[in-house]
Each structure stands twice: as C-alpha cells, then as structure tokens.
Amino acid sequence: MFCHRQDQPVSRRDLLASAGMGFGSLALASMLSSKGMAASTASAPSSGVKSPLAARLPHFAPKAKSCIFLFMEGGPSHLDTFDPKPLVNKLAGQPLPDSFGKVITAMGEASAPLLASQRKWAQHGESGLWVSDWLPHTARHADKLAVIRSCWADGINHSAGVCQMNTGSILGGRPSLGSWVTYGLGTENTDLPAFVVMQDNVSQVVNGPRNWSAGFMPALYQGIRIEGGQDPIPNLMTPAGKTASQQQGKLAFLNQMNRDFAGRHPQQTELDARIESYELAFRMQAEAPQAIDLGEETEATQKLYGLDRKETASYGRLCLLARRLVERGTRFVQLYHGAGSKWDAHSGIEKNHTSLCEAMDLPVAGLLEDLSARGLLDETLVIWGGEFGRTPMSEQGNGRDHNPTGFTMWMAGGGVAGGQTIGETDEVGLHAVSQKMHVHDLHATILHLMGLGHMDLVYQYKGRPERPTLNEGHPYVKITG
C-alpha cells in the first residue's frame, strides 16, 4: 500500500503565499524527476524511495505500462456512434414511452419527442462489432476495441461531468486520475513529464487545469499541459547568447534561495514542485526537442495520422505526439478533442458530429495502427470517450441533450481483449441496464490494468485515507478476456 501524509496546518498568510507561487509556476509545476534534491521532502515515510517520482513497483503484474486517454469533451452521442437503437427510429417523433420513466437533464425535465438517428450501421471485424458510418477508420480496428455501452455518471452538466470523469468526483479539489497513476507508479523517464495533457484548439477546456490537478496531493503530481503546435513547450530552449554554464549557475542560485525558503515553510509543496521543475526543464532542453520533433517521422507515418489533411492535422499531431511520449516513458497522456465542449450538440447534431468525427476518426485509427505496428499497443492502454452521452429525445428539433445515465466508452490495448461489447443500455439508449459501469468502476478498471489496486492506492490527507475512487467501484477484470 502506498501511503503519503500531509497533516501540517497552513496559516491564511502561508496559504495565500503558496497559492500565488503555485499559479505562477503552473505550467512547469508537475515536470519533475527523481533526481531533484528537494523532492525527498515529500516522499512517503515508509517507502524508502528518495524521490516521489522515482519509478515504483505496481501492486501486481500490470497489463499496461502507460495510458493514452482520448477525451471527447462535450459528450459524444453513443446512439450515433457505437450503440444502435432501432426502437428510437421506430418511435421517432413520439414522446418517450412512460415505461422508461421521467428524465431530468441539464435543461430540466425532458418531454421532447424521440429523435431518429440518421446513421447507417454495419458490423465490423471478425467480432461483428457495430460501428456507425461516422467512424469508418475506427471501425477498421473493431477487433481491438472493448466497447463499454453501460457507462453511467453523476454529473448532469459539463463542469460536473468532466470533473468526475477526470477526478472521480463532481466537485473540484480531488487529484486527477493521471495524478493518481503518477503517484502510484512514478516515471520511467526522469527527463520528460510523467503526466502530459494536450488539447486540439485554443478554447478553454471546461474546468481548465482543475481536470489535471493533483488536488490535495503535492503539486508535483499534477499534469503538465503542452501545446500541439510547432512549439509544444514554450520557453523551453536556452535564450540566444546564454551558455550552459550560465544556465547552471542561475539554476543553482534559484534552487538555493528556494530551498532556504522551503526549509522554513515545509508545508508548501508548490515550492518543492517549482524547485524540481527548474531542474527538469534544464534536462528537458536535451530530451524534449527530440521527443516532440515530428519531422523525424516518415511521410507515411504522418499521413497515417492525417497530418496531410486540414481536417485531421490538429488532432493527428496530438495523437502522434502521444505515441512519441509513451514510447519514451511518459506514463499518462490525455488528449482533449473538441476542447471547449465542442461535442455538446444541443442543436444541429448532424453538422456538429459529422465535422468532429471527421477530425478525430482518422487520427485515432492511426494511433491504434501505429501502436500496434510498433509493438506498443500491448503495453499502452488507449481509452476513448467523453463525460457523458446524449439523450434519445430531441432538443431544439435536431439536437440531443446530456445523458449521464447511459453512454459508451471504449478501451483498447494494455491487455484489453478486443472485439467485445460490454453491457448494454435500454431499448432507447437512455439508461445503462446490464453490467453497469460507473465512473468509479471505469477508474478502478484503468488502475487495475496498470497494476494498481484502487483500494490499495492510499494518500493520507489530514488524517484521512484518501483513495482514487472514493472507496467505491470495482475493476471489471473480465475486460482482459
């Protein structure tokens, strides 16, 4: 059992000082390594590990060494992608039958008529997995996918839903899933961030950095967001005219001042993170440029991810960067697609989802194919999904509202047995009804695949043992076949 304590009281003055420093260094705060001197101040008392980010042994043999979470922000419609419901089309234009109960959505009690899906469906692969015509490229990898049709969550609106899918709670303040993985397993590459977040456009992701925060754990476990453009890590390189010795001297001077301050304020974990981030940033000047240089990739590989097409280039670049990061030891990568709740199709779902699927489908398929070809898929868990699904009822005549009571996600690689469908929703796709998997179950399953028991991964906070799934959930161990 991993256990970490943080019990020291914090005064109002110290809290404000700590918060100010944390905001100022947010972009680098989690880029830490096991070589930092100050990191040992936050290590587990009984672990014997010199740095909190040194690689740790899992609780049991893992199926996956790393994870890539493809997050479709805003809530993609399961009814139009992976969960066909003929009854919805049969009853289109009619009210939801009373047998399915009253439905409360983000817009209040739902009473709109059912909206037909305009998709064409086909079975794919030897498994015969159902996939709609919106995802022709992903469909080619049907036998790699474990499609979970019975997901459910508690958040009705985007803020609560995105927060829960990332942290397990609809309320902010808890560590993200990536932070728990980093805390439990550490990093395999001390010269790159252990937990990386990227997004496909400049819009603000709902909740912002709270989604990849370390919550009440030391700030060094939080995710580091990097850009997907030509300069993914701004201000990384040494300024022109500065020598390595000058940089080292500046780093040593800053570290000495920070350590003196940290000695007087041991409860300020943000300062530990800042000290570590300077040291990692210095080492990254040699390692990171190579990791993010897509020019090293062949033309065929870049085309595989859709970098040659305007529609797919943005997310394709992120997917290719994710592959380059995990093969170099980054533990957890999260890629937001449709940042700014672009998948939220309250109206015009045909136009909205057609465009988004076109931008995402080819890059995701390329990622699966590339990982498989390189022998990385067996050790890399790939997850696809959003914070919830969409309702079978219409909204504004041609859209769908939020639906947290039944929706679809899929997993591939990382020991997952492909070509299977897990669970189901009712006949109209409104509620999960068999093999139901709450967000806590999903998180427990992800941690299990990475060799971590969700009830054994503990962080002591103010005398209370905290766990990633809030002491709930069960891993779906049958997902491995």
Q: How confident is the model at residue 284 (pLDDT cuts 50, 70, 90)?
A: low
Angle between helices 310-326 and 349-373 (to 10 degrees): 40
Q: Give the pLDDT confidence score for residue 23 in this predicted structure.
A: 36
Range of lowest pLDDT (17-21, 84-88, 104-108): 17-21
Of the candidates 434, 395, 425, 431, the residue with the CA atom closest to the CA atom of residue 103: 431
**Pairing mode, strands 145-152 and 407-413:** antiparallel
Range of lowest pLDDT (59-63, 74-78, 79-83, 271-275): 271-275
User: Can you tell me whether residue 425 is helix, strand or coil?
Assistant: strand
Q: How confident is the model at residue 255 (pLDDT cuts 50, 70, 90)?
A: confident
**Backbone phi, psi, residue 324, to 5°:** -65, -35
CA pair distance 297, 300, nearest whole angstrom: 8
pTM of the model: 0.84
CA pair distance 278, 21, nearest whole angstrom: 14
- Whether the pLDDT of residue 182 is over 80: the answer is yes
Of the candidates 333, 348, 275, 286, the residue with the CA atom closest to the CA atom of residue 118: 348
Place of tokens 């990692």: 280
Q: What is the chain's percent helix, strand, coil content, to nearest 5?
A: 35, 20, 45
Q: What is the mean pLDDT of residues 383-410?
A: 97
Higher pLDDT, 267 or 463: 463
**Backbone phi, psi, residue 389, to 5°:** -105, -155
CA pair distance 158, 106, nearest whole angstrom: 9
Structure tokens, 72: 């479709």
**Backbone phi, psi, residue 72, to 5°:** -90, 95
Q: How confident is the model at residue 18 (pLDDT cuts 50, 70, 90)?
A: very low
**Backbone phi, psi, residue 348, to 5°:** 55, 45
Average pLDDT, whole number, for the chain? 86
Q: Could you give the C-alpha distances from 29 to 210, 220, 259, in angstroms and in order?
A: 14, 6, 16
Q: Give the pLDDT confidence score for residue 27 in this predicted structure.
A: 37
User: Residue 340: CB partners within 8 Å, gap ≥ 6?
Assistant: 73, 74, 201, 203, 204, 205, 206
- DSSP assignment string, 206-227: TTGGGGG--TTS-GGGS-EE--
CA pair distance 120, 78, nearest whole angstrom: 14
Q: Give the pLDDT confidence score for residue 108 in this predicted structure.
A: 56
Q: How confident is the model at residue 16 (pLDDT cuts 50, 70, 90)?
A: very low
Give me the CATH code for the 5-17+58-238+282-480 domain, please: 3.40.720.10
Q: What residue type is assigned to position 33 of the chain? A: S
Of the candidates 295, 305, 300, 304, the residue with the CA atom closest to the CA atom of residue 335: 305
Q: How confident is the model at residue 430 (pLDDT cuts 50, 70, 90)?
A: very high
- Whether the pLDDT of residue 45 is over 70: the answer is no
Q: Give the pLDDT confidence score for residue 377 in this predicted structure.
A: 98
CA pair distance 447, 431, nearest whole angstrom: 25
Q: Give the pLDDT confidence score for residue 475 in this predicted structure.
A: 98
H helix runs in 342-384, sequence order: 349-373
Q: Give the pLDDT confidence score for residue 471 in this predicted structure.
A: 97
DSSP state of 79: G
Q: Give the pLDDT confidence score for residue 199 in this predicted structure.
A: 96
Q: What is the mean pLDDT of residues 202-217?
A: 95
**Would you say 456 and 181 are in contact if contact means Cβ atoms under 8 Å apart?**
no
Q: How far is CA 240 from its chain centroid?
A: 36
Q: Give the pLDDT confidence score for residue 367 in this predicted structure.
A: 98
Higher pLDDT, 85 or 19: 85
- Whether the pLDDT of residue 93 is over 90: the answer is yes
Report the chain's C-alpha Rg in angstroms. 23
CA pair distance 133, 150, nearest whole angstrom: 21
User: Can you tell me whether residue 104 is helix, strand or coil?
Assistant: strand
Q: What is the mean pLDDT of residues 228-252?
A: 67
Q: Could you report the per-residue pLDDT of 305-361, keeping only the tens digit for each?
A: 999 999 999 999 999 999 999 999 999 999 999 999 999 999 999 999 999 999 999
